[in-house]
Chains A and B, each alone.
Chain A
Amino acid sequence: MSVERTSPFSTALVTAGAWGLAILWILPLAYAIWTAFHPAIYAARLDLLAPWTLENFSRAWNAAPFARYFLNTFMLVSLILVCQFVICTMAAYAFVCFPFRGSNLLFMAVLLQLMIMPEVLLVENYRTLSRLGLLDTILGMGLPYLASAFGIFLFRQTFKSVPKELEEAARLEGAGPIQVLLRVFIPVAKPTYIAYGLVTVSYHWNNFLWPLIVTNSVETRPITVGLQVFSTVEQGVDWSLVTAATILSVAPLLLAFLLFQRQFVQSFLRAGIR
């Protein structure tokens, strides 16, 4: 006796709603891509028979040092990723395995950074960076983000789930604290590292405000700031060119997302659930 009464009509309605929303959601990006691949005269009118071209991309690529911008973003994101992994792992390991009086209180204090991200304090952080002589450097751009409360929180949660027996077995075999961390905790937390890595890469690949303030030259500007500098000059003049530059700058992350869609979604899920 099945109680489930889903009529064909309501199923069709749900399907139509889901697909209608999906089309609405993908339309802006699809149209931007379409514009980027067609000659400038078609930017203003949609003509499905318009000829395809790569000319906008080559013009955009030659109009601004996008290769350098990509390199800068790549260096920034790598720096942040590696340092966050190391620094947050160390901190999380301390909170889980070497608790001391007040360590819980300290952990609560760390969580404050979840609310108050470094870019909210941009005026003071700019001043600090200028005192350190790190303005307009990739290190300076990454520095405020190297210790992430979110990372510490996430790794702590994962490390807490590691069975005590595993840890003690390793100790009995004579492993020191560092070996226990490397041989027991980090392997168990591998999915968390992947999840956190994807989230942090997308965050910093896309980050804009802080890099905008800190950078001042082609040698340091990440792709987001480079794109903005480029399109401020071109705005309203040549939409095909601006759209091509935009698509160009999002292409690496977008392609990575489309190829590893499942992992992306799973990672955001894992990182989002506490």
Chain B
Amino acid sequence: MRAGRLAGSRNALTSALLLLPAAVLLWVFTYQPIVTTVIDSFFSTARGRRPSVFIGSTHYETMVADPVFWKALVNNAIYAFTTIPISMALALAMALFVSGKLRGRGIVRMAYFTPTVLPMVAVANIWLFFYTPDYGLVDQLLRHFGGGGANWLGSKETALGALIVITIWKEAGFFMIFYLAALQQISPTLMEAAALEGASPWQRFRRVTLPLLMPTTLFVSINAVIGAFRLVDHVIAMTRGGPDNATVLLLFYVYQVGFGYWDTGYAAALTVVLLAMLALIALFQFGYADKRVHYR
């Protein structure tokens, strides 16, 4: 009987062996840390001789009263809701530009895509120089129009906007690729049919192209939202969250609390909020988005 069962579960055995390395690594660096993050968020940070003790929801109470946390949350929302729509609209425009007949199409496409292959730290360094008051590129250009002289990264009003600009510059070309792929899949017959019906180019775009691009738009926006919570390299390289916390994003705050102040308990509680955000996005994707846009 045992032998029979073994034969029946040979698939399972082979599978188990093949899956073992991936399973161990995913457990150690993704699942287990999720669990311990949640547990740690209810314990105090061990300091010196004082061990970590259970403190209930104290970290969460601190968080609710912590203005920097709220600032990070609001900043992250502003950051996501500006970078994502703008870079996606630009990406769509770029894709439409290079998918049609255009002189020097290859060069134009390369120009759009190049910022994507640069590391965010390098992008940050280049733009730090551009944003330098008075003699940076931005001020040099603005001087021609009578502007300039602003300390883009140094003042509370403009610092987050300055980061938003470089994010759009870096991401738009990446999103373009997905739209480009989707545009290639749209059958020309559909367009011709619409044209025969007397639809203007704008109507064709609005009624045919845009709806057909809906799955791509959702796919890209979900990835963009995850990116908005995950990428803080430019905050570290350019502003360190300043001035006056004007550019603190959630993950940067986790980094600052965890590795600047070494308050790992509080950092865990902040991470839980970050995880909750990402979980919400996941639920949206699996529950809502997949049902609504997959019509094939």
A-side residues, CB < 8 A to B, are 3-4, 11, 14-15, 17-19, 21-23, 25-26, 28-29, 31-32, 35, 43-46, 86-88, 90-91, 93-95, 98-101, 103, 106, 109-110, 112-128, 143-144, 146-147, 149, 152, 177, 202, 205-209, 212-213, 224-225, 227-228, 231, 235-236, 239, 242-243, 245-246, 249-250, 253-254, 257-258, 261, 264-265, 268-269, 272-274
Contact = CB atoms under 8 A, between A and B. Distances in A.
Contacts, number: 257
Given A99-B11, A258-B110, A28 B130 contact: yes
Contact of B103 (A15, A86, A147, A205): A15
A136 to B, nearest CB: 14
Interface residues of B, number: 93
B150 interface: no
Contact of B15 (A94, A119, A257, A265): A94
A87 B122 contact: no
B33 A121 contact: yes
B196 interface: yes
B28 A110 contact: no
Contacts of B169: 25, 28
B137 interface: yes
Interface stretch (B53-61, B156-164, B273-281): B273-281
B230 interface: yes
Among B12, B97, B122, B279: residue with most chain A CB under 10 A = B122
Nearest to A32: B126
B29 A206 contact: no
A228 B97 contact: no
Among A28, A91, A101: residue with most chain B CB under 10 A = A28
Given A14-B102, A268-B177, 16 more contacts: A14-B97, A14-B100, A17-B93, A25-B172, A31-B130, A90-B21, A112-B30, A116-B30, A121-B30, A147-B21, A208-B119, A208-B233, A208-B237, A269-B180, A273-B181, A274-B219
Given A117-B230, A205-B119, A124 B111 contact: no
A121 B271 CA distance: 7
A144 B27 CA distance: 10
Contacts of A31: 130, 137
B264 interface: yes
A239 B274 contact: no
19 contacts: A22-B108, A26-B114, A29-B126, A87-B21, A91-B19, A94-B14, A95-B19, A110-B26, A115-B281, A121-B34, A123-B254, A147-B22, A208-B119, A208-B237, A209-B232, A225-B121, A227-B121, A269-B181, A273-B178
B110 A100 contact: no
B174 A143 contact: no
A116 B97 contact: no
Given A103-B15, A213-B259, A250 B33 contact: no
A54 to B, nearest CB: 19
Interface of B: 9, 11-12, 14-15, 18-19, 21-26, 28-34, 36-37, 40, 90, 93-94, 97-98, 100-104, 106-115, 117-122, 125-130, 132, 135, 137, 140, 169, 172-174, 177-178, 180-181, 192, 195-196, 219, 226, 229-230, 232-233, 236-237, 251, 254-255, 258-259, 264, 267-268, 271, 274-275, 278-279, 281-282
Contacts of A258: 110
B30 A118 contact: yes
Q: Would you list the 7 A-B pairs with minimal beta carbon distance, nearest first? A: A206-B119, A124-B33, A147-B25, A94-B18, A18-B97, A22-B111, A44-B135
A91 B22 contact: yes
A98 B14 contact: yes
B173 to A, nearest CB: 7
A124 B122 contact: no
B226 A123 contact: no
A265 B109 contact: yes
B102 A15 contact: yes
A23 B111 contact: yes
Contact of A257 (B12, B108, B117, B233): B117
B177 to A, nearest CB: 5
Secondary structure at chain A's binding surface: helix, strand, loop or mixed? Answer: helix
A118 B29 contact: yes
Contact of A242 (B90, B108, B125): B125
B173 A25 contact: yes
Given A23-B111, A90-B19, A209 B125 contact: no
Nearest to A243: B129
A217 to B, nearest CB: 17
B173 A147 contact: no
A144 B29 contact: yes
A254 B115 CA distance: 9
Contacts of A93: 18
Contact of A122 (B18, B120, B258): B258
A80 B252 CA distance: 25
Contacts of B129: 32, 35, 43, 239, 242-243
Contacts of A250: 117-119, 122
A108 to B, nearest CB: 9
Nearest to A10: B201
Contact of A100 (B12, B128, B267): B12
Among A109, A117, A242, A268: residue with most chain B CB under 10 A = A268
